Amino acid sequence: MNENRKILIIGVCIAVLGLAVWLAGRQFGWFDKNEVTTTGWDRSQAEKVMRQLCRAADSVGIDTTRYAFLASDTKKEFGEKFTDLLLELRFGQKPSRISYSKLPEKVDTTWAIAMLKKDEGRSALDSLRKTPVFGMYPALVNSYHQLRNNPSSDTLHLIRQTLNFYRYLNRFGYEKFLVVNIPAAELNIYDRTGKCLLPMQVIAGKKDSRTPFFTTYLTDIITYPYWNVPKSIAVDEILPKVQRNIDFLESQNLEVLDEKEQVVDPYSIDWASMTPENFTYRFRQASGCSNSLGLVKFNLTGPGAIYLHDTNARDLFTQTSDRWRSHGCMRVQKPVELANYLMGKQVLDQGFMDRCLIDQKPQTLSLPKPFPVFVVYNRADIDSQGKLRVYKDVYGLDS
């Protein structure tokens, strides 16, 4: 290959890479910055509107001290504060506890700049009033107003967080999406207006093995899944039990796999010599009624080994109010209903959970398209009866 050809290939690769980065930036909003121009609008008029916007923002729980403006601010600095406030009123801020984000966000900065240049923002409030709000948002705002007479109330801060989350949803254009709220131990599928289409309870992570907070996609459903035991559970919980009594493996339908994913005879292993450091095997629980994941698993595109699933202990939903007892994954109360809803048709009948066939292999059902999922920590919200509910701080995050 001559030198010119090498240079040509390198140039093409760089161009393709640059295009890919640009497209990704457009998709995920990397380049969607607030570039306010200083021409085409009058600052003195805009300052009057800014005061109105601050009052409106304050009424829905936004901390307006971030947008305080000074006479010494340049016109550009003032314009950036003005448009940033507009954007928070419409799109909220990303909740600080979300540690993993798979869903692309879109914040329309061109709208905010257009409002400023159109008439110094005088029509911005009208534009915001016409922006659809999530179903419980108005009732939550009313609860916020009622509690403001008691400024020391901790509930005010909790309501602000949930109001921000509902504004944050405006960054996404999904017709339907799934929300798991950990403090409420609830899973709900909503449409974009906030109408609840499918509610159910969940069992989430314990305080010392918390379910993380994230946005992601649900992509497929596994019937009769294996449980591939996470490394931490394998060495911390299962290995000591096997070392005490190897029959524990059979009692739990657990197989031992080597590094080549081959099933190994457990009696061929010197268990006494195994430690968390030298344990190179892994455990896999066979499919069936006793499987810890139950009969249905719902795969997510991250983070890590977190997913939704059925359970082999469904009586926990009726026999106890303790909904925070898992290692981090989320057990769902209505796996059949959830599977059928996500697939858009009946793929599992009501007898599926009762038949519990033996010697079944996992089967994958791919969703028609990835389904958006939000896992959040909202401690104050409006319940199905229209009442304000304040949930227990199960993870101690607000103490």
Report the length, in residues, of the chain.
399
Residue 4 pLDDT class (50, 70, 90 cuts): low
- Among the candidates 131, 160, 187, a domain finishes at 131
Cα distance between residue 260 and residue 250, in whole Å: 22
Dihedral over alpha carbons 295, 344, 341, 383 (to 10 degrees) = 160
Does residue 244 share a domain with residue 222? Answer: no
The Cα diameter of the chain in Å comes to 83
Residue in 13, 289, 309, 327 annotated catalytic: 309
pLDDT value of residue 24:
44
Cβ(357)–Cβ(291) under 8 Å? no
Pick the residue with more confidence: 135 or 20?
135
Nearest-5° angle of CA 184, CA 154, CA 325? Answer: 30
Residue 206 belongs to a domain with what CATH number? Answer: 2.40.440.10
* Shared domain check, 320 and 194: yes
Burial degree of 214 (CB within 10 A; 0-12, 13-18, 19+)? buried
Query: Domain containing 307: what range?
Result: 140-226+289-390
The band of 162, judged by pLDDT with boundaries at 50, 70 and 90, is very high
Domain count, the chain: 3
Q: What is the pTM of this model?
A: 0.88
Q: How far apart are CA 191 and CA 168, in angstroms?
A: 15
Query: In the chain, what percentage of residues exceed pLDDT 90?
Result: 81
Q: Alpha carbon of 333 to those of 7, 196, 237: distances in Å?
A: 59, 16, 26
289 annotated active-site: no
Residues 377-396 have a mean pLDDT of: 96
Shared domain for 381 and 304, answered yes or no, is yes
Q: Are residues 41 and 108 in the same domain?
A: yes
Residues 233 and 259 in one domain: yes
- pLDDT tens-place string over residues 192-217: 999 999 999 999 999 999 999 999 99
Band the pLDDT of 303: cuts 50, 70, 90.
very high
Q: What is the pLDDT of residue 241?
A: 97
**Three-state DSSP class for residue 330:** strand
Name the residue with higher pLDDT: 125 or 256.
256
Average of per-residue pLDDT across 94-107: 97
What's the pLDDT score for residue 21?
43
Q: Does one domain contain both 210 and 343?
A: yes
Q: Cα separation of 288 and 271, whole Å?
A: 27
Least confident of 34-43, 108-117, 233-242, 243-252: 34-43
Condensed to tens digits (0 to 9), the pLDDT of residues 17-66 reads 554 444 444 444 444 455 787 888 899 999 999 999 999 999 999 999 99
Q: Does 313 fall in a domain?
A: yes
For residue 145, indicate whether it is catalytic: no
Would you state the pLDDT for residue 33?
52
Q: What was the pLDDT predicted at 2?
A: 58
Terminal CA-CA length for the chain: 66
Lowest mean per-residue pLDDT among 26-40, 69-83, 124-138, 296-310: 26-40
Which residues lie below 8 Å from residue 273, measured CB to CB, with a gap of 6+?
A: none
